[in-house]
Chain A
Amino acid sequence: MENTTPGNAADLHGRVVGTIVAALAEATRLDPRTIGEDSTLFDELGLDSTTVLGLLMTIEEELGIEFDTDSLEQHHFESVGTLAAFVETQVVEQVPDLAEA
């Protein structure tokens, strides 16, 4: 079991990042290949407060989670990577089967 955890964590991370990148590409009409984990959501990708709610709902739909929007803070939205880290904690809490798959 211990031997498989790092691999599972990497799988989950990859899936979450892939989901976020696809959702961002849809929301911003950018080429997903130009979006990386270091991409900043507001400054580089041009996300704004009018598109962020739609982005969150797409992530919810794709990963089967529900955000507590009051718990979302500015630092979660700095980059694709920071948002992915937050989303991963929500997946582990809410969809443990997906996290361990």
Chain B
Amino acid sequence: MDFNERLKSALTGETTTSLVLLGNFEVEDRWARGEVGLPRLAFGSDNVIVNRMDEFALLLAAKGDHVLLKADPDADFLAYLETLGFEMPAVLTPSRHDPRKLVTEDALDDPGLCAELGELGARGAVLSPHGVSELEEQLAGAAGLPLAAPSAAVCKAVNSKIYSRRLADALGVRQARGWTCDDVAEMEEAFGAARTLLAAGRRVVVKDAFGVSGKGIELVEAEPRLDRLLRMISRNVRRAGGDRLGVVVEEWVDKRADLNYQFTVGRGGSVHFDFVKEALTESGVHKGHRIPARLAEHQVAELKDVSHRLGEKLAADGYYGVVGVDAMVDPDGGLYPVVEINARNNMSTYQAAIQEAFLEGWGGRTALARQYPLRLTRPLPFGRLRDLLTDLLFTHASGTGLLVNNHATVNAAAPEDGAAAVGASSTAGPGESFAGRLYGVVIASSDAQLTALDGEITRRLAALREGTSSDAA
């Protein structure tokens, strides 16, 4: 059974159900609405790019599935994926899309598309979002397309970092010392404990209960900064009325590596461990995920055991579907198996088909899943990107190179004709440069080749920024 079939089985009990996949990334933003925690400041061109992460869903689908996207993929990109043997699903798009809106909102704005989804529903298809908020419930209801997922309320509840920490506590899973805070009194107590840690020369992190993975986390090294953060959160609580809030305070612990593992919980409570990846950092900056993770057998066994125990509890609390967990390896090789639970699809979920086709069973192959930041002055079609990368692009024949798994994020922030780049100054004219992201998986036959390929891809793409490539405008 491949991952697509396992997913269908977990969500619907059948391996042949037709899925309508929806890549509503950063669904946390919807879960966070109405919640009080760390100040949320998401600006710049990030949002329009994140909204086009919907295209990752192409590689989660199988033939017979549908993928709901904001806009049609580049035909050359689809052709490239097909040459690699991936069977492309049918693509559905709204008649128009707003770059600042989620794919779910675009679909809700299009009655014709909703009717089309309803017809698929009548033929037995089900809606399978990246994560479920009230927006996806609205779309399912408006279209008459059943949701193959727990309710938004369940999904939100099990994605809170407070839930995650308490669940790990209940299971006796090792965690950094920490405190969960549901109200002002708990926060003041936790901050008091944090002051003691700071006084002892330790560092602490304050996390928003609904922060997007990697965001909504503030590292605090000195007491005045902790006090300022406390005042900031307290002001937010006062403005919201009442004394409810959601933050977690933890001691900062040393680590050798970050891990991300995934398991799938079936509707009946079955748990399947899918994989574990290792996060790579360079000078403290997150670079991507290494596949496979460099772990000993007993470490993987521990993660599998924890997965089953977490999965059972999640199922008991009404959750089923994909679960991603962030974990850490301490300097002595010991595990912190639960740093954060993300009960939704994860970036790794969308790489499963690539792993199955080109990594598992190909002994010795290693891979790096990452994104390359781009700076462009005009849209970069996939055909030109292919010409630029040439021998660095993954092909069946070479078995090495960059396998692009999202092209929409490259041009997501490009200005429409005559308009300023999204996220740029409103006074900027055409020709304003814009940010983009190229997501892919670099596949190599050794660590040394992986490093060399990654370096060469970075250099080739940098030419776009510096205008030394014929592709620079």
Using CB atoms and an 8 Å cutoff, list the residues of chain A in contact with chain B. Answer: 40-43, 47-50, 52-54, 56-57, 60-61, 66-70, 72, 74-75, 77-79
Give the segment of B36-44, B128-136, B326-334, B394-402 that binds chain A: B36-44
Q: How far is the CB of B290 from chain A (nearest CB, A)?
A: 22
CA distance A49 to B225 in the complex (A): 18
Does B44 lie within 8 Å of A69, measured CB to CB?
Answer: no
- B43 partner, pick from A61, A70, A74, A79, beta carbons under 8 A: A74
Is the pair B39, A53 in contact by a Cβ cutoff of 8 Å? yes
Contact A69:B424 (CB < 8 A) given known A43-B45, A43-B435, A50-B217: no
Question: Quick one: closest A residue to B39, CB to CB?
Answer: A69
Docked Cα-Cα span, A8 to B419, in Å, equals 38
Nearest Cβ distance between residue B46 and chain A, in whole angstroms?
7
- A47 contacts which of B44, B426, B433, B434 (Cβ < 8 Å)? B44
Give bound CA distance, A48 to B229, whole Å: 19
Interfacial chain B residues near A72, Cβ < 8 Å? 41
In the complex, B214 has a CB within 8 A of chain A: yes
Q: Does B174 contact A (CB under 8 A)?
A: no
B423 at the interface (CB under 8 A from A): yes
B215 A50 Cβ-Cβ under 8 A = yes
CB distance from A100 to the nearest CB of B (A): 25
Cβ contact within 8 Å between A57 and B43: no
The answer to whether A42 and B229 touch across the interface, beta carbons within 8 angstroms, is: no
Expressed in whole angstroms, the Cα–Cα distance for A57 and B224 within the complex equals: 10
| Minimum C-beta distance from B9 to chain A (A) | 37
A79 to B215, alpha carbons, bound, how many Å? 22
Whether a CB of chain A sits under 8 angstroms from the CB of B231 is yes
Cα of A52 to Cα of B426 in the assembled complex, Å: 21
Inter-subunit contact A79/B425 (CB<8 Å): yes
Q: Which 10 A-B pairs have the closest CB atoms?
A: A42-B44, A69-B39, A49-B42, A77-B43, A52-B41, A74-B43, A78-B425, A50-B215, A49-B215, A57-B228
CA distance A50 to B213 in the complex (A): 10
Do B423 and A42 have beta carbons less than 8 Å apart? Answer: yes
B231 & A61 in contact (Cβ 8 Å cutoff)? no
What's the least CB distance linking B133 to chain A, in Å?
A: 19
- Chain B residues closer than 8 Å to A48, beta-carbon distance: 44, 46
User: What is the bound-complex CA distance between A79 and B44, given in angstroms?
Assistant: 11
Instruction: Say whether A40 contacts B228, CB under 8 Å.
Output: no
Q: Can you list 27 A-B contacts (CB < 8 A)? A: A40-B424, A41-B44, A42-B46, A42-B435, A43-B44, A43-B424, A48-B46, A49-B43, A49-B215, A50-B214, A50-B217, A54-B218, A56-B41, A57-B225, A57-B228, A57-B229, A61-B224, A61-B228, A66-B231, A66-B235, A69-B40, A69-B41, A69-B232, A69-B236, A72-B41, A74-B43, A77-B43
Bound CA span A66–B217, Å: 20
Residues of chain B contacted by A74 (CB below 8 angstroms)? 43-44
User: Using a CB–CB distance below 8 Å, which chain B residues touch chain A?
Assistant: 38-46, 214-215, 217-218, 224-225, 228-229, 231-232, 235-236, 239, 375, 423-426, 433-435
Q: Are B235 and A43 in contact (CB under 8 A)?
A: no
**Least CB separation from A46: chain B residue:** B373
Q: Could you say which residues of chain B place their CB within 8 Å of the CB of A67?
A: 232
A residues near B225, Cβ cutoff 8 Å: 57, 61
In the assembled complex, which residues on chain B have CB atoms less than 8 Å from the CB atom of A53? 38-39, 41, 218
B101 to chain A, nearest CB (A): 15
Find chain B residues with CB under 8 A from A49 CB: 41-44, 46, 215
* Cα A47 to Cα B45 with chains together (Å): 11
Known A53-B39, A57-B225; further 14 A-B contacts with Cβ < 8 A: A42-B44, A43-B423, A43-B424, A43-B433, A43-B434, A43-B435, A52-B43, A53-B218, A57-B228, A66-B232, A68-B235, A69-B236, A70-B236, A77-B44
Residues of B near A79 (CB, < 8 A) are 425
Of the candidates B43, B215, B224, B228, which one forms a contact with A42 in the assembled complex, judged by CB atoms under 8 Å apart?
Answer: B43
Return chain A residues, CB-CB under 8 Å to B43. Answer: 42, 49, 52, 74, 77
CB-CB under 8 A from B375, the residues of chain A are 43
CA A68 to CA B228, docked complex, whole Å: 13
A78 surroundings in chain B (CB, below 8 A): 424-425
Contact between chains at B44 and A60 (CB < 8 Å): no
Chain B residue with the shortest CB-CB distance to A57: B228
- Which single residue of chain A is at the shortest CB-CB distance from B427? A78
Assembly CA distance A54 to B218 (angstroms):
8
- Which residues from chain A contact B44 at a C-beta distance below 8 Å? 41-43, 47-49, 74, 77
Q: Most chain-B CB neighbours within 10 Å: which of A48, A50, A72? A: A50
List the A side residues contacting B232 at CB < 8 Å: 57, 66-67, 69
The CA of A58 and the CA of B102, in the complex, are separated in Å by 33
Assess the A75–B426 pair: CB atoms within 8 A: yes
Interface pair A70/B217, CB less than 8 Å apart: no
> What's the nearest-Cβ distance from chain B to residue A72, in Å?
7
Given the complex of chains A and B, what is the CA–CA distance between A72 and B42 in angstroms? 11
Q: Report the Cα distance A60→B228, complex, angstroms.
A: 9
A68–B39 alpha-carbon span in the complex (Å): 9
* Neighbouring B residues of A61 by C-beta, 8 Å: 224-225, 228
A78 to B375, CA, bound (A): 17
Q: Closest CB of chain B to A92's CB: distance in Å?
A: 20
Bound CA–CA A60/B227 (angstroms): 12
